[in-house]
Chain A
Amino acid sequence: MTALSVAAAPPQPDRRPFLPLVTADLLKLRKRRGLVATVTAMTIGAAVVTYAVLAILHAANPAHHGPAGGVANLMHGVGVLSLLGCVAATIVGASAGADDLNAGVFRELVVTGRSRLALFASRLPGGLAFLLPFVAAGYAIAAVASVGLAGSLASPTTTLLVEGGLWLIGEVALFYVVALGLASLLGSRTQTVGILLAFRLALAPILASIAALGVFREVFPTAALGRLAPAAIADDVRQGTHAPMSLAATVAVLILWTAIPLVVGAWRTAARDA
């Protein structure tokens, strides 16, 4: 084959498998000891501490403190996991989105000839594969404790347990996606974590509680997520005054909060100087 004929041939599609890229992204995250410790503490650790404290209080003063389990305490457990799980998702998303850039490894990956979009896309399943097992484990502890330690209280139904778990995983995954996109855009883990924590923990709850903003409050993902939360646990996971939303608006808001960070992150990854 001559040089001329090779150059004239149409470009060959990239047939290299995608899964190893996902595995590599998972490897980069799970080998960060500090990150593993932080995420463990914010998910499994948070669930263990929450129910341990409730159990100790009940054992110390049963007349004043009810059993550690039951629907009410599942609500509290999910509330804790929702808050800390989103912080963990933000940290993991920021790491997945910016660590290659911060370490200078992104250009080493680009010179392999691999599509930049593939390099970005693999961070999504790679990071979720790292994060969600911790969240699921934390929720499993909460679920087992809320049933096992229910005592005289009503135990949560299987439906509620499944709905609560799916809702929690969905919320954490959404915040992971937002952090991934923002970190890929900014190229900085620290800035991403700072911005998103300020938004999640301070700005969004404050804005959501300002009734004068009206329907404007519906653009925040916390409002949409609160709308989708199972009724039995909704009070503990909604922040600020509940902004009533239609289901269509809820779905639209969540789709936009998922799609925009992914599109922006992919665009920046494809366009940036490596």
Chain B
Amino acid sequence: MNTTTSPYVVETDGLTKRFGDRTAVSDVDLHVPRGVAFGYLGPNGAGKTTLIRMLLGLTHASAGSMKLLGLPVPERRAEALARVGAIVEEPRFHGHLTGSENLRVVAAARGPEAHARIGASLDRVGLTARAGDRVSTYSLGMKQRLGIARCLLADPELLVLDEPMNGLDPAGIEELRVLIRSLVAEGRTVVLSSHLLSEVERTCDAVAIVDQGRVVVQGSLDELRSDGAPTLLVASADDTRARSLLGAHVSVDSVTVADGALSVRLHHGTETVAREAAADINRRLVEAGIPVYRLEPQQVSLEQRFLEITSRLEEAA
């Protein structure tokens, strides 16, 4: 199934796009591993779509180089894109054609094998019954599914989906999530750009966080979470005294009140250091005569990590 044995389906090196004086994508080095759901995460206007458009040859890069499926683009663009399916921004169709006819139009560009996959692709996304209806009568969710069916015509090694959850209702989002995971289970790679942190966290295996055109951090979700500052949830008999005491602790970065308990953020350090700090915090509280009801490490969510990274950037700016 694979075009090459490159471990990465997307590799960029110093990729940059400028529009006049404005730099939309700045010196991006991105490495998307094969066979995962990869989230390309960032706020609106961070340059996510511009990077995707460069990768797909929809617009030229101002500087840098890139590879798709191990092939340099734009030099080998046609060969690379033959095994790539993509939805950029929202899927667009000829509204006066039926769903099936719209797929025929794209299959004509892809080749005879793609034409033979039309039925199976429509079936895969559950649109067989509506394939003969004009696309102008489709809901947004149906258009998203038809867009994915269009991607599947390529029997893609890589699918690039730009904000695919936009405008979908919860049931539609769940359907799409299941579909993406099933595609990954088949060995395909799905690159998903989104500003919806929770959806990326629930769908993806690895992420890159992008802000103001730069990739700030990338890696697996576990790596990203473990890279954040460790946080403890502390519930005690006297939160006021406990907060005052912990605020002065050498290992503590900050203390906030969350859900009737204290959220204690520690300074960055290894897991062992964090564990020792937790034991010391417990001992100090008990020695101060404050009964501790609960003390547990908090799982850092992608949202917390994202906010932590982006706020750090804002401070630096």
Q: What separation, in Å, do the CA atoms of A107 and B106 have in the docked complex?
A: 11
Contact flags (1/0) for B128-157 with A, using CB distance below 8 Å? 000000000000000000000010001000
Which residues 4-19 of B have a CB within 8 angstroms of A? 4-6
User: Any chain A CB within 8 A of the CB of B253?
Assistant: no
Q: Are A111 and B67 in contact (CB under 8 A)?
A: no
Measured between C-beta atoms, what is the minimum distance from B138 to chain A in Å? 14
| Residue pair B77, A113 in contact (C-beta under 8 Å) | yes
Binds B, one of A1-9, A128-136, A199-207, A230-238: A1-9
Q: Which chain A residues numbered 98 to 138 have a C-beta less than 8 Å away from chain B?
A: 99, 103-105, 107-115, 119
Q: How many residue pairs bridge A and B at CB < 8 Å?
A: 111
The residue that A104 contacts in the complex, of B5, B67, B92, with Cβ under 8 A, is B92
- Whether B5 pairs with A3 at a CB distance below 8 angstroms is yes
Is residue B110 within 8 Å, beta carbon to beta carbon, of the partner chain? yes
Judge whether A108 and B91 touch: CB under 8 Å: yes
Contact of A24 among B6, B78, B105 (CB under 8 A): B105
CB neighbours of A109 from chain B (8 A): 105-106, 109
Interface residues on B, range: 35 or more
Contacting pair B78 A113 (CB below 8 A): yes
- Total residues of chain A contacting the partner, CB 8 A: 35
Asked whether A107 lies within 8 Å of B3 as measured between CB atoms, the reply is no
Residues of B within 8 A of A112 (CB): 81-82, 106, 109-110, 154
Instruction: Please state if A24 and B5 are interface contacts (CB–CB under 8 Å).
Output: no
Known: A27-B104, A111-B88. A273 touches B59 (CB 8 A): yes
Q: Which of B93, B109, B110 has the most CB of A within 10 A?
A: B109
Are A16 and B88 within 8 A (Cβ)? no
* A28 at the binding interface (Cβ < 8 Å): yes
A115 to B72, CA, bound (A): 16
The 4 closest A-B pairs by CB, nearest first: A113-B81, A104-B92, A3-B6, A20-B108
Residues of A within 8 A of B (CB): 1-3, 6-7, 11-12, 14, 16-17, 20-21, 23-24, 27-28, 31-33, 99, 103-105, 107-115, 119, 273-274
